[in-house]
Chain A
Amino acid sequence: MPFTLSKKNVELRIKELQTKAATIKDLQLSFGRLITETWTEQMGPTPFPGILDLRDWDHMLLQRYKPLYMPHSDVCELCTMGKCDLTAGKKGACGIDIKTQQSRLALLTAVIGAGCHAAHSRHLLEHVIEKYGPRFPLDVGGVNVEVEAPITRLVCGVRPKTLSDFEEVLDYLENQITHLVAALHTGQEGSNIDFESKVLHAGMLDHVALEVGDIAQIATFGFPKADPEAPLVEIGGGVVESQKPLVLCIGHNVATAVEIVDYLKANNLFEDVEVAGLCCTAHDVARYNPKAKIIGPISWQLRFIRSGMPDVIVIDEQCVRVDSFAEAQKINAPVIVTLDKISLNLPDRTKDSADQIVTDLVDTKAPGALILDPAKAGEVAVRTAIQVAPKRQKFKSIPDVTDVIERAKKCNLCQECRRACPQDLIIPEAMRAAGEGNLQQLAELYEDCIGCGRCEYVCPVAIPPHTFIVKAAEAQFKQEKYKIQAGRGGIQDTEIRNVGSPIVLGEIPGVVAFVGCSNYPHGKRDVAEMVAEFANRRYIVVTSGCAAMSSAMYKNEEGQTVYEAFSKNFEAGGVVNVGSCVANSHIAGAAIKIASIFAKRNIRANYEEIADYILNRVGAVGVAWGAYAQKAFSIGAGCWRLGVPVIVGPHGAKYHRMLLGRKDHEEDWYAYDARTGDRVFVGPAPEHLFFAAETKEEAMVMIAKLCMRPNDTTKGRAIKLTNYIDLHKRLYGLPPDDIHMFVRSLADVPITMKDEVIRILDEKKWVEGRVPDPTLLPRMIRKKKEGV
């Protein structure tokens, strides 16, 4: 059996050590980790890649998909030589120009996201190693999932078997993220393209971090393991039984929420106390126990806290409103913070007894506590909720209707609330109507409101518009009860085997992943509609995070949500919720597994080849319609490097840079035919890597278009064109003007649209092309031509 020494080792150096027995000088010891090597797959070229190891691939992508910068700020204010005005070609005191500064800020955004996920996974891993031991096996699907960690295999070249195997993976991530952060310092990188390459590196690291976190929690907590039959769980503002004490968990790190459930079960309290969550902790606690309930996406924090429903609020990490403690105090609900990322100036009570903490919280001697021990935090949360609930009586910070009407009368229509609203909602008119006793207009704003509360900080007469909107829509909020599939985790190898061929050949028109946050331009309905549209069109639809929740919040005419109406299998027409943010790893993982399981490509430390495979063959598109977070950006960056395009909504333009192809630049759209080495025109497929759509309709058409890949068979391309043309005609009112760029031969033309398409081809003076075995990598050419 071969042995290898771990790349990540430890060195100990002792300059001088004096003991009674001896004096030791200049002792140097190196500790590695011996790994029994049972994985016979050949090691690829880039194990644990450093910042520059995939630079050539990045530059190739960035040559085709050039950054479009839309600066949010004209100045740099990161050092004391500034502020520096970088407008229109001016340089800063360090010599930086606006393009480089924008790419630098893109890297900053990406490393915040990647760092966040890596830290999250580090905490989870340490917690579960302490609880379950370092040799705990990583079973994420039994015999159905042999490629258990495709991203880790691809990036790091290791095959993790136990929890401790992830330690060196996280060591690597932390090392690389530190180097990327260093590149942000003044006087470091001076090329926007190399900054962008580092953005892609950060994204790739982010994906590894996601995978580590989700595998660790799936394996140890017993979440559904690549299970299409993961149970349906309840979601919505009205799913909590109001007469019961409620522990509300907010954030993304489920460690404490798991302990809450365990405490309830151990003490036979689960029927007496409600556990519910907002955002990804909600997803994950429902994966742990389907009796736990999901309130909704992260944007519902204010409205749900102010509803007075929570008796105790448990905060973990990421995307938590930083004023949640102040909001909790308004409803007399104690707060428990559980991680070092968020401490809120609360006293560290980790070493105090649970009895004492509970007493202090219940007697309001302390409004909150920092408890870093998840088990203790779980016990305190439950016991406190039970004792606080009768005192609170669901005290809420939302006024009654009479109060709303009276205070609305003070509105002077100054427009400041509207000007503060990211959605530009026409609040003043609704407030005027409310002052006249009609709350309907306020209620109608509820759907589009993203719950940020900015309107409340600007009113000169102290009207709280967001609170009034929530009050006006209170009945609607309380009636919201839906079903969502609990996050199932990964995709089974057998599922990949079944769909690998039709995806790569194009006969399944695409895999569309609706992911990310809830900063939607027009409410959550858009996401639910898009999910249903593409499932009906026999795409494979995958969901995660807040988008997965929003997808559940509408019912069809039969009263079913998309998770009830469509297949739960990873197959054409299926709608698959993989889970929380960290479960996004399974979406990227599925694309990698197609290369591994279906195409038999070596994936071990073979990033460039697999990304090239995915870019040219796997018709996958990510849609982050409400993306707002740095994490969403870093997840997107991981997709770009892997060759998966990402569409965001109009607010996503605020990431201030796109990666856009130019279909009018014919020279950008050539690939090698791996069989011959010929350079072949493959059309703008996919046209963009990062694209902000102005409207839902534009996004839907772009989804269909970005699913096209050079490798599509004629049958597959005809299916994809059918969807693209049909959607374009329905939503735009006419056929697309670029059909000729996607037709390689007449066999590509959809048979039902033949006359129409051929007429367009004639008008465009279309020239027949061919379907190559596409690659951007010269080394993949099997028959070398001279000069290649």
Chain B
Amino acid sequence: MATVEAWQRAEIAGPSKANVIPKPEVFVAMMKRAKRPIFVAGHHVVEVPEGGTYIDYIIRIAKAANIPVVATSHIVGEFIKRGFQPAAWMPAVDITSRLQDPSWMGLDSNGQYDLAIYTGIPYYMEWLLLSAFKHFATHLKTISLDRYYQPQASWSFGNVSYKDWSTYLETIASQLEVK
């Protein structure tokens, strides 16, 4: 059963905290509803702390939903190795700085985004980056795709098992791949 407490116990949010995404179908619906979504993927997509990777899910989801991916830290090469070209690569603090700026015109100069999906950045760091959006980016909704509850996002999964989370990712990718 998912809980709605921060994974790292002391990382409590303030008066407002993320809504829990109860099932992957809801995530899919939110992605479809967004006009200009963007994916921000950190290095844990190739180095899950428990071992393994989920970069292939990110690629499938991004391709199926036609969402630009920003690779943070040093992992852009991992995407390219798999035949996928991210829209950009830049440090997590840089893409966050841009996304929280209402006047930024986006990677393609077509305007600011309305949904940012963050995943794979160390929990405590992603928590802070999402906090910047919560306070300063009213133009933007955020989702954490990680398997731990991120209270500073607009929406987040709860704390779910690795197995359940893998199932979620498969469901999301599969449903988006159905045209």
Contacts and interface: CB of A to CB of B under 8 A. Distances in A.
Interface of A: 66, 68-75, 85-89, 98-99, 416, 419-422, 424, 426, 458, 521, 650-651, 653-654, 656, 658, 660, 662, 664, 691-695, 697-698, 701-702, 731-734, 737
Nearest to B8: A419
Contact of A694 (B80, B91, B97, B136): B91
A72 B128 contact: yes
14 contacts: A66-B97, A71-B131, A71-B132, A87-B16, A87-B134, A88-B136, A98-B135, A421-B8, A424-B49, A658-B93, A664-B104, A694-B92, A697-B73, A733-B78
B136 A732 contact: no
A654 B102 CA distance: 24
B9 interface: yes
Given A68-B93, A87-B134, A734 B74 contact: no
Given A662-B97, A694-B72, A426 B124 contact: no
Contacts of B58: none
A654 B15 contact: no
The A interface is mostly helix, strand or loop, or mixed, namely mixed
B50 interface: yes
B142 to A, nearest CB: 12
B8 A69 contact: no
Nearest to B16: A87
A75 B98 contact: no
A74 B131 CA distance: 9
A650 B15 contact: no
B105 to A, nearest CB: 9
A691 B90 CA distance: 12
A521 B135 contact: no
Given A87-B16, A660-B97, A68 B132 contact: yes
A711 B168 CA distance: 53
A407 to B, nearest CB: 22
Interface in B89-128: 89, 91-94, 96-98, 100, 104, 121-125, 128
Contacts of A733: 76-78, 80-81
Contacts of A424: 7-8, 49, 122-123
B97 A87 contact: no
Given A69-B132, A71-B135, 14 more contacts: A69-B136, A72-B131, A74-B13, A86-B135, A87-B14, A89-B138, A656-B128, A658-B93, A691-B93, A694-B91, A695-B73, A733-B77, A733-B81, A737-B88
A86 B9 CA distance: 22
Nearest to B71: A732
Contact of B128 (A419, A653, A662): A653
A426 B50 CA distance: 7
A88 B134 contact: yes
A419 B77 contact: no
A650 B124 contact: yes
B137 to A, nearest CB: 9
A421 B128 CA distance: 17
Interface in B54-88: 72-74, 76-78, 80-81, 88
A691 B91 contact: yes
B9 A420 contact: yes
Contact of A419 (B7, B14, B132): B7
A164 to B, nearest CB: 46
B170 to A, nearest CB: 23
B8 A88 contact: no
Contact of A698 (B16, B78, B91): B91
B14 A74 contact: yes
Interface of B: 7-10, 13-16, 42-43, 49-50, 72-74, 76-78, 80-81, 88-89, 91-94, 96-98, 100, 104, 121-125, 128-129, 131-132, 134-136, 138
B39 to A, nearest CB: 16
Contacts, number: 129
A73 B73 contact: no
A228 B13 CA distance: 50
A416 B123 CA distance: 16
A731 B74 contact: yes
Contacts of A75: 14-15
* A-B complex: 7 closest residue pairs judged by Cβ atoms: A733-B77, A74-B14, A697-B74, A70-B128, A694-B73, A695-B73, A698-B73
B38 to A, nearest CB: 15
A660 B134 contact: no
B100 to A, nearest CB: 7
A716 B78 CA distance: 32
A759 B81 CA distance: 22
A695 B9 contact: no
A69 B93 contact: no
A203 to B, nearest CB: 20
Contact of B91 (A426, A458, A662, A693): A693
Given A88-B134, A88-B138, A422-B124, A694 B8 contact: no
Given A69-B136, A733-B76, A521 B122 contact: yes
Contacts of B104: 664
Contacts of B97: 66, 68, 658, 660, 662
Contacts of A654: 124, 128
A74 B122 contact: no
A91 to B, nearest CB: 13
A420 B10 CA distance: 7
A732 B86 CA distance: 13
A458 B43 CA distance: 29
B7 A651 contact: no
A422 B104 CA distance: 33
A549 B124 CA distance: 26
A98 B123 CA distance: 22
A650 B124 CA distance: 8
Contact of A426 (B15, B49, B81): B49
B125 A653 contact: yes
B61 to A, nearest CB: 21
A424 B92 CA distance: 19
Contact of A85 (B14, B128, B129, B136): B14
Contact of B93 (A419, A458, A660): A660
B76 A732 contact: yes
B139 to A, nearest CB: 12
Contacts of A71: 131-132, 134-135
B89 A732 contact: yes
Contacts of B125: 650, 653, 692, 694
B136 to A, nearest CB: 7
B119 to A, nearest CB: 13
Nearest to B134: A88
A419 B3 CA distance: 13
Contacts of A416: 9
A85 B16 CA distance: 9
